[in-house]
Amino acid sequence: MSEKKLSEAERRRRQKARKERERRRREMLRRRRRKVLLLRAALVLACVLAAVLIAVGIADARRKEGDSAQTSGQTQGQTQGAASQVRHLSFPTLLADADRAPEGTNPLTVEEFNRILEDLYQRGYILVDIHDLAGENEEGNLVMQNLELPEGKIPFVLSQRDVSYSFDKADSGYASRLILDSEGKLTNEYVQADGTTVTGDYDVVTCLETFIAAHPDFSWNGARGILGLTGYNGILGYRTSPELALDAAEGNTYADAYGTFDTAEETEACKTVVQALKDAGWSFASYGYNYVSYGSELSMVQADAEQWEANVESIVGETDILIFPWQTDLGSWSSYGTENEKYTYLRGLGFRYFCVENQNPYFVQVGEDYVHQGIHEIDSYQEYTELMD
């Protein structure tokens, strides 16, 4: 009896021991599985972090590479153009119909101007704004700039002189004025030989706008040209000069041949075109009100400049560009200074960029408060080819 009880007790003890061992074994397996899962999770997290760090590193390297390319003037895709090596090509009003050219003359035609634009483009020229030639330093003085242009490009400035469509060009194969078409686009009005009026690209502005639309890389940062304005016959083909409202007895020398004009109405119509030109990127310059020589005495320069300010600047707004009429300067090619009364006077009116005909290939002089640039007046296709060859 006792032996059987002991055997039963031993059996229960052993059974209990087995259950305990089984419990411990299961607990150990659970712990092992938990460790494996934790290790796997840690490994996955490490891989994710590594991938993120690699991606960030690549992006940062690319950003630095891009920044370096943008800030270096000599990096691939850019070239530096010195302001001292910028040509300034200046054109007259273009002849639309070569058959109507005055006998014995050879004026530049619309067709020839378009050929010039194409030739400049093929040579790698790119149009820049005259204000890109100089910038202000910390003291507020002008200093010559380097232009960071697209690779292989050659900078040049373009202007047109006396954009008035003067009476002497009427019915002679030239455009009669600049207007806006029904879509607000700049276009020229032109009276054909049979007396009918048509619109289209018949002068510098409209030809250049069409060319840039087809070749956007011909213009750097949206640059356009400079329009040099007189005022004696109005501007842009609009008869805005106050004298043109008078009759012959009151001193209007054009009244008998061309009649009188509602100059207030002409001025308002002109302002719409002026704004469209500004919006397109064109600049305005004084070309003298009466086309007088600025090599004359100070009093004559003052009288002319006052008329321009009253009757042209009042329409187009202030400008800091002066293109000298009659290929004259303020007396010499030496640096401008306060001892030059005409320079001091014109500088006081706000002029800072002074442009004059010059035969040198390049002439750009930058003083503390002015830029003096030589221009090439291209009045025929032959003059252009002689300059470029």
Q: What integer pLDDT is reported at residue 4 of this predicted model?
A: 45
In angstroms, the CA 90 to CA 92 distance is 7
Helical ranges in 72-181 per DSSP H: 110-123
Q: What is the pLDDT of residues 214-240, one digit of tens each?
A: 999 999 999 999 999 999 999 999 999
Q: What integer pLDDT is reported at residue 328 of this predicted model?
A: 83
Q: What integer pLDDT is reported at residue 62 of this predicted model?
A: 43
Confidence of residue 51 (pLDDT cuts 50, 70, 90): low
Helix (H) or strand (E) holding 68: helix 2-71
Confidence of residue 104 (pLDDT cuts 50, 70, 90): confident
pLDDT of 241 strictly over 60: yes
Q: Which tokens belong to 337?
A: 């200074």
Q: What is the pLDDT of residues 348-363, one digit of tens each?
A: 999 999 999 987 878 8
User: Do 256 and 271 form a contact (C-beta atoms < 8 A)?
Assistant: no
Q: What integer pLDDT is reported at residue 305 of this predicted model?
A: 98
User: Do 245 and 186 form a contact (C-beta atoms < 8 A)?
Assistant: no
Domain boundaries, the chain: 1-71, 81-388
Q: What is the pLDDT of residues 324-340, one digit of tens each?
A: 998 888 866 668 888 89
94-108, 150-164, 372-386 — which is least confidently predicted?
Answer: 94-108
Q: What integer pLDDT is reported at residue 87 of this predicted model?
A: 95
Name the one residue in this structure whose structure tokens are 């289209």: 200
Q: What is the pLDDT of residues 116-169, one digit of tens each?
A: 999 999 999 999 999 999 999 999 899 999 999 999 999 999 999 999 999 999
Distance of CA 384 to CAs 94, 225, 378, Å?
Answer: 14, 17, 6
Confidence of residue 75 (pLDDT cuts 50, 70, 90): very low
* DSSP tag of 74: T
Backbone φ, ψ for residue 284 (5° rounding): -115, 150
**Residues paired with residue 199 on neighbouring β-strands, in sequence order:** 189
User: Do 83 and 134 form a contact (C-beta atoms < 8 A)?
Assistant: yes
- Of 340, 347, 384, the C-alpha closest to 369 is 347
2-16, 153-167, 258-272 — which is least confidently predicted?
Answer: 2-16
- Of 348, 340, 321, the C-alpha closest to 133 is 321
Q: What is the pLDDT of residues 285-312, one digit of tens each?
A: 999 999 899 988 999 999 999 999 999 9
Q: What integer pLDDT is reported at residue 56 of this predicted model?
A: 47
User: Do 370 and 352 form a contact (C-beta atoms < 8 A)?
Assistant: yes
Mean pLDDT of 28-47: 57
Name the one residue in this structure whose structure tokens are 């494996």: 36
Backbone φ, ψ for residue 382 (5° rounding): -60, -40
Task: Indicate the length of the chain as a whole number.
Answer: 389
Q: What is the mean pLDDT of the chain?
A: 86
Report the range out of 1-15, 52-66, 93-107 with the highest average pLDDT. 93-107
160-174, 258-272, 354-368, 369-383 — which is least confidently predicted?
Answer: 354-368
SS3 319: coil
Backbone φ, ψ for residue 35 (5° rounding): -65, -40
User: Do 59 and 72 form a contact (C-beta atoms < 8 A)?
Assistant: no
Please give the class, per CATH, of domain 81-388. Answer: alpha beta
The answer for residues whose C-beta is within 8 angstroms of residue 19's C-beta and 6 or more apart is none
| C-alpha count within 13 angstroms, C-beta hemisphere, residue 294 | 26
Helix (H) or strand (E) holding 257: helix 255-258
In angstroms, the CA 226 to CA 248 distance is 34
Stronger pLDDT, 347 or 79, i.e. the higher one: 347
